[in-house]
Amino acid sequence: MSQILLSILTFGCLFSVLTLSLNLQYARGGMINFGIVAYFAAGAYAYAIFTQEPPKGLDQYLFGFGAPWWVGFLAAAVASMLFAIITGWPTLRLRGEYLALTTFAFAEMLHSVLLNERRIGNGSVGLSNIERPEIGWMGIPEGYVYAGAAIILMLGTALVFRRLLASPYGRAVDAVRDDETAAQAIGKDVARLRFQVFVISAVPIGLAGALYAMITTLVSPDLFTAEVTFFVWMALVLGGERTILGVVLGTLALVGFQEIVRAIPYESVRTAQLAKSVEVMLTGVIFILVLRWQPFEALGRRSKKA
Amino acid sequence: MSGDLLVIDRVIKRFGGLKAVGGDAGLSFSVPRGAFLGLIGPNGAGKSTTFNLISGVLKPDSGSVTLDGHNLSLAGAAKIASYGLGRTFQTPRAFPSLTVLENVTVGCDNRGETIASVALGRWRSAERELREKAREVLDRVGLSDRVDDSVGNLSGGELRMLEVARQLVRDPRILLLDEPTAGVDPTLQTKLSKILVDLHAEGCTLVVVEHNLHFLMQIADSIVVLQNGELLSQGSPQAIKSDEKVIAAYLGSEHAT
Ligand SMILES: Nc1ncnc2c1ncn2[C@@H]1O[C@H](COP(=O)(O)OP(=O)(O)OP(=O)(O)O)[C@@H](O)[C@H]1O
Ligand SMILES: [Mg+2]
């Protein structure tokens, strides 16, 4: 039981980083990113490539640098940032649904490159020689250290975003989202602000990718499908935009629900299939209820006032 | 420090083949430094479109706009604003997710708006001064008791004054106002008229679009009349009031002196 709580906490906080970043892009920046998984994957693969040993035997990948974990994290931040620069530059002038479609397309492109180009990450097999530092740190079990790392990453992301948004910078970002024309009439460089928000918010996503790779010690294309993107969007909708606490609670709830359902033991394949359908239906029902009453958003609001 | 601050030269703008501004020859007029120009004309004459062409919301199909030597046809709206041009819109535009005070402080340029200044926490002292200034401006336009309100609670006239305040806080060198008295009550109109006269005395160049001629003719020192996107007449308020063409096209007989 404590095992499941620990993994809810770890992955809940880890995915909260993604939801927080999406919240910055969407609720504050007014940008719809339907390719969020790509920045996550970029971070995870960068961590894997930089920390793994050089290829040998059946490995088809070209690069492995055997670097320590913190180099992997740096590489992950840079990789997701670069991917955001490359994908953001041509697309951020696009409005609403067009941006959603192009970000989705970019993510699908990255996915198919990772799947088909074996020299990057062994294609569909993925990379599994990922550095996992020795962290029986001060006698604390590994699981707790990872949970702690996820919490720290989440809190750090929340704090940095908060600091950014509580400044005149955040005010300008809000103005641009509210009314571009009026914002330009007071000298706000709309393209610059949107681009910066997009790139800044990609960095924590990349770091979360690195931590994810470190914890699972495996990256492969089928871990980074559009399902991850939709999962994060669901968490954002559940938590209600705009409040940081709401966003985190929404993500924790969604991760918790999935982990609990996964932990139920089944006697046969048939019951497992049944359970899977029930899970999907339950997700739908809970979703409708939450959207109707928005409990997490309300909680977040109350805590903001206090 | 004399000469023309703003030069509109043979500007033409069409919307789907229909000429909105400029006719065949293009619209040309200039605004001398320190002028207080009234821009009038019937509905659909192209006054707001002219403002949009100057401020970069729209780009002319041909012709050029020059502000203090800067060719505006190459600049975006934000760049033009940074040259010291302020403008309001005919339909007031507020930022709904910001408070009344923030709607004004946001008008001030970029002091705290770089990532570096946020990272270093350099914006706080500038921000205090800015808030002070914004409060003063809000007081000037009669919104001092609405400072922390949400803009959703403002009336139409209050929103208009809020937009004026947002431009005032930026200390523009030239300010374009599109129908600033529309929906504004008489007391506030008097206040506004005083603000504009003061602003003009401080050296700000003003261009004001108005249908309220009683308001405009008292404070403007020259008038440009547009009709169908073309320059119909130009001159002092007195000369315009007695211009036969203007009376026929716009003023009607009871305004004639
Ligand atoms: N975005 C647009 N698309 C198409 N036509 C437009 C557009 N903006 C303005 N027009 C047309 O251009 C002409 C000039 O409009 P404009 O708004 O500049 O007039 P105006 O002088 O400001 O009138 P009013 O006194 O009613 O505000 C009008 O015929 C209008 O229908
Ligand atoms: Mg108009």
Q: Is the pLDDT of residue A101 over 80?
A: yes
A139 touches B: beta carbon within 8 Å: no
Total Cβ atoms within 10 A of residue B97: 19
A184 touches B: beta carbon within 8 Å: yes
In a domain, residue A231? The reply is: no
Task: Nearest chain B residue to A165 by CA: give it.
Answer: B118
Quote the pLDDT of residue A291: 67
Q: CB-CB: which of B93, B117, B170 is closest to A182?
A: B93
Atom 1 (ligand 1): residue with closest C-alpha?
B15
Q: CB-CB: which of B76, B95, B118 is closest to A182?
A: B95
Q: Residue A86: which of A113, A126, A68, A61 has the closest Cα?
A: A113
The conformational region for residue B175 under phi > 0 = left, psi -120 to 50 = alpha, else beta, is beta
In a domain, residue A37? The reply is: yes
In a domain, residue A245? The reply is: no
Q: Residue B177: which of B136, B212, B140 has the closest Cα?
A: B212
- Mind listing the pLDDT tens digit for each residue in A143-165? 888 899 999 999 999 999 999 98
pLDDT, greater one: A207 or A34 = A207
Query: What phi, psi does A160 have (nearest 5°)?
Result: -60, -45
CA distance A233 to A253: 13
Task: Nearest chain B residue to A159 by CA: give it.
Answer: B119
Strand B205-209, strand B174-178: pairing: parallel
Q: Which residue has the tokens 């404590």?
A: A2
Q: Is the pLDDT of residue A44 over 60?
A: yes
CA distance B117 to A170: 12
Q: Tell me which residue range forms the domain holding A18.
A: 2-226
Tokens representing A103 are 């970000």
CA distance B190 to B181: 10
- Mind listing the pLDDT tens digit for each residue in B202-227? 999 999 999 998 899 999 999 999 99
CA distance B84 to A238: 44
In a domain, residue A177? The reply is: yes
CA distance B98 to B149: 9
Quote the pLDDT of residue B242: 83
CA distance B22 to B14: 8
Ligand 1 is surrounded, with C-beta below 6 A, by B 15, 20, 41, 43-49, 90
In a domain, residue A172? The reply is: yes
- Mind listing the pLDDT tens digit for each residue in B99-138? 999 999 999 865 667 888 888 877 888 888 899 999 999 9
Question: How many structural domains compose chain A?
Answer: 1
pLDDT, greater one: A288 or A35 = A35
Q: How close is the nearest chain B Cα to the Cα of A93, in Å?
A: 14
Residues of chain B with pLDDT under 70: 1-2, 109-112, 253-257
Q: Which residue has the tokens 């980083």?
A: A17
Q: How many percent of chain A have pLDDT more than 90?
A: 31
Q: CB-CB: which of A177, A184, A186 is closest to B107?
A: A186
Q: Is the pLDDT of residue A60 over 90?
A: no
Average the pLDDT over each of A87-101, A133-147, A186-200 and give the range with the smallest value: A133-147
Q: Is the pLDDT of residue A304 over 90?
A: no
Atom 6 (ligand 1): residue with closest C-alpha?
B15
Pocket mutation for ligand 1, best pick of B48, B176, B231 (most atoms within 8 Å of C-beta): B48
CA distance A177 to B123: 22
Strand B85-87, strand B174-178: pairing: parallel
In a domain, residue A261? The reply is: no
Strand partners, B223: B38, B235
In a domain, residue A139? The reply is: yes
Tokens representing A146 are 């990872």
- Mind listing the pLDDT tens digit for each residue in A197-238? 999 999 999 999 999 998 888 888 888 888 888 888 888 888
Quote the pLDDT of residue A198: 93
Query: Contacts of residue B109 in chain A, CB cutoff 8 Å?
Result: 186-187
Task: Give the Å distances, CA to CA, from B19 to A105, B45, B57, B59, B248.
Answer: 40, 10, 17, 14, 22
Average the pLDDT over each of A61-75, A81-95, A273-287 and give the range with the smallest value: A273-287
What is the 3 state secondary structure string of B224-249?
EEEECCEEEEEECHHHHHCCHHHHHH
Quote the pLDDT of residue B1: 46
Ligand 2 ion: residues within 5 Å (CB): B 47-48, 90
**E strand residue ranges, chain B:** 4-15, 18-21, 27-32, 36-40, 62-67, 70-71, 85-87, 174-178, 205-209, 222-227, 230-235
Q: Residue B221: which of B41, B39, B37, B40 has the closest Cα?
A: B37
Task: Give the Å distances, CA to CA, from A183 to A176, A188, A275, B74, B77.
Answer: 5, 5, 51, 19, 9
CA distance B230 to A158: 56
Q: Which residue has the tokens 């946001």?
A: B106
CA distance B177 to B89: 7
* Rounded mean pLDDT, A67-89: 90
- Mind listing the pLDDT tens digit for each residue in A241-294? 668 888 888 889 888 888 887 777 777 777 777 777 877 777 777 767 766 666
Quote the pLDDT of residue B22: 86
Quote the pLDDT of residue B179: 94
> Are the Cβ atoms of B113 and A163 closer than 8 angstroms?
no
In a domain, residue A300? The reply is: no
Query: B195: CA distance to ligand 2 center in Å?
Result: 22
Quote the pLDDT of residue A305: 39
Strand B222-227, strand B36-40: pairing: parallel
Read off the pTM. Answer: 0.87
- Residues with Cβ within 8 Å of B61's Cβ and at least 6 positions away in sequence, in order, are B12, B13, B14
CA distance A295 to A81: 34
Structure confidence at residue A112 as a pLDDT band (50, 70, 90): confident
Query: What phi, psi does B46 have (nearest 5°)?
Result: 110, 20
Tokens representing A10 are 């770890």
> For residue B172, how many C-alpha atoms fall within 13 Å in the half-sphere facing its CB?
28
Radius of gyration of chain B from its Cα atoms, rounded to whole angstroms: 19
CA distance B57 to B14: 14
Q: Residue A17: which of A204, A162, A160 has the closest Cα?
A: A204
Q: Residue A28: which of A187, A200, A151, A186 has the closest Cα?
A: A200
